[in-house]
Amino acid sequence: MAKKKWGQNFLIHQKVAEIIVDAADVQNEDSILEIGPGHGMLTRSLLKRNAQVTAVEVDPELCDKLRKQFENVEGFTLLEQDVMELAPEALAKLVSAHAKVVANLPYNIVTPLLLRILPVRKTWQSLTLMIQLEVARRICATPESGKSYGPLSLVGALGFQSKIIKTIRPDSFRPAPKVDSSVIRLVPRNSGLTHEEEKLFLKWSHLLFQQRRKTLLNGIRSHFPEWYQNCEDLLSEKFALRRPESLAFTEWLNLFEDYLQNEKMNPAKALRNNNKKIIN
Ligand code: SAM
């Protein structure tokens, strides 16, 4: 029986697994990290392409089945482990450098997993994932995308070049989820910020994005009064009545540079010590 707590919506058509493997451009001898192999539908497609698969599965019953299913297959390694309990650095070391991540992810861990792996993302060549369509849209969104554009879009833009490859209907899974899914491909990119700055950028932009329909200046005034006081004229001149939801990623980055500049001159305490969750 599928276990809800582990987001078990299993693929029922091998051809959907093939779509994911094609999107990942899996080649002979590629090193692959698969998260949540389940009953092994996607794993089979990966092994058929002669890939070296390291799979991480949390459910002990499924692990037993997987061990039996693939015991004589070369190139398959199973780790019985909750992926969310692995330190990102340990996760990055499970497979050789430039490996590809391929997964039909349990939907409840998509956002927390993306945030966790952000600092080690460049270990991997690409991540090809099946996730909810709505979340995929949020990751890829720009100001022109309307409501989908938000803090998760900034995580996406900061860390990856992302593309939705294909929408997959609920009847491709058992049990069928309530919403459409999609195959998304993420290629890690360099943001130009250090890891520490990236962490700070996400907290900072999340605060300013909270009131997406109010003007950015209002948000700056309430969350960062010292910065506002120091730079009111410049900020008003640059951003006048702009709202957070209208700022493209590069504009967010430029504004962050201004914020960091001001922080260097007038070290503020609030944000660096704030341990609030970044994105819900
Ligand atoms: N790959 C299979 C498929 O495509 O049919 C299963 C996909 S199912 C959506 C998600 C899989 O991830 C399940 O096998 C589930 O047990 C596993 N899983 C859920 N949470 C996990 C976690 N924290 N760490 C490792 N595996 C997890």
C-alpha to C-alpha distance for 170 and 180, rounded to whole angstroms: 6
Buried-exposed string 64-83: b where 16+ CB fall within 10 A, e elsewhere: eebeebbeeeeebebeebeb
C-alpha to C-alpha distance for 40 and 32, rounded to whole angstroms: 14
In the chain, the amino acid numbered 55 is A
Give the containing element (helix H, strand E) for 31: strand 31-35
Residues in the ligand 1 pocket, defined by CB under 6 Å = 6-11, 35-39, 41-42, 56-59, 62, 82-84, 104, 106, 109
Distances (CA, A) of 12 to 89, 174, 207, 276: 33, 7, 41, 39
Nearest CA owner, ligand 1 atom 23: 82
Pocket test for ligand 1, best of 1, 3, 4, 6 (most atoms within 8 A of CB): 6
Q: How far is the CA of 75 from the centre of ligand 1 (A)?
A: 20
Pocket test for ligand 1, best of 3, 10, 69, 113 (most atoms within 8 A of CB): 10
pLDDT given at position 217:
94
Q: How far is the CA of 82 from the centre of ligand 1 (A)?
A: 10
pLDDT given at position 269:
53
Q: How far is the CA of 10 from the centre of ligand 1 (A)?
A: 8
Q: How far is the CA of 47 from the centre of ligand 1 (A)?
A: 18
pLDDT given at position 160:
98
Nearest CA owner, ligand 1 atom 17: 36
In order along its 280 residues, the chain shows pLDDT tens digits of 788 889 899 999 999 999 999 999 999 999 999 999 999 999 999 999 999 999 999 999 999 999 999 988 999 999 999 999 999 999 999 998 899 999 999 999 999 999 999 999 999 999 999 999 999 999 999 999 999 999 999 999 999 999 999 999 999 999 999 999 999 999 999 999 999 999 999 999 999 998 887 899 999 999 999 999 999 999 999 888 899 999 999 999 999 999 998 888 766 555 654 555 556 4
Q: How far is the CA of 106 from the centre of ligand 1 (A)?
A: 5
Give the containing element (helix H, strand E) for 132: strand 126-132
Helix (H, G, I), strand (E, B) or coil at 186: strand
Determine the atom of ligand 1 nearest the C-alpha atom of 108.
20
Strand order in the sheet with 160-168: 76-80, 52-57, 31-35, 100-104, 126-132, 181-188, 160-168
Q: What is the pTM of this model?
A: 0.93
Retrieve residue 20's tokens: 């994911």
C-alpha to C-alpha distance for 277 and 120, rounded to whole angstroms: 19
Nearest CA owner, ligand 1 atom 22: 82
Distances (CA, A) of 162 to 129, 139, 181, 184: 11, 8, 16, 7
**CATH numbers and ranges of domains, the chain:** 10-188 (3.40.50.150), 195-272 (1.10.8)
pLDDT given at position 3:
87
Q: How far is the CA of 45 from the centre of ligand 1 (A)?
A: 16
pLDDT given at position 279:
64
Helix (H, G, I), strand (E, B) or coil at 174: strand
pLDDT given at position 144:
97
